[in-house]
Amino acid sequence: MNIFCLPTLPLPDELITVLAKGRNIRIERIISTGQTSGWYDQNEKEFVVLLEGQAEIEYGNGKRVAMTKGDTLSIEPHERHRVSYTSNTPPCIWLCVFYEFE
């Protein structure tokens, strides 16, 4: 698989592809073309790389983080957050690693 090989755009919904997963880890490629999300409050830690596009992450405390191509972000377990903006042109290509420590 080529991480930059995209389906026909724009997409009606985000496209989530699980690239690998194990007992305590999951790696996903997510393609966004203007979609936003509801609030997340997840058990896992999340490491995010925005490979293409522009996006904004909003935290439950009101903090907002603008992201552009190449930016990374680490989200702690139960750190309430949502995706409040994703670019359509270019589309957002995310690489997300969700993991837990025992």
Segment 64-87, tens digit of pLDDT:
999 999 999 999 999 999 999 999
Give the model confidence (pLDDT) of 1-55 as tens digits: 999 999 999 999 999 999 999 999 999 999 999 999 999 999 999 999 999 999 9
**Torsion sign over Cα 46, 50, 53, 55:** positive
Superfamily (CATH H level) for 15-99: Jelly Rolls (2.60.120.10)
Calculate the CA 87 to chain-centre distance.
13
Q: In what order do the strands lie in the sheet with 81-86?
A: 64-68, 54-59, 81-86
Structure token digits, residue 48: 């995010």
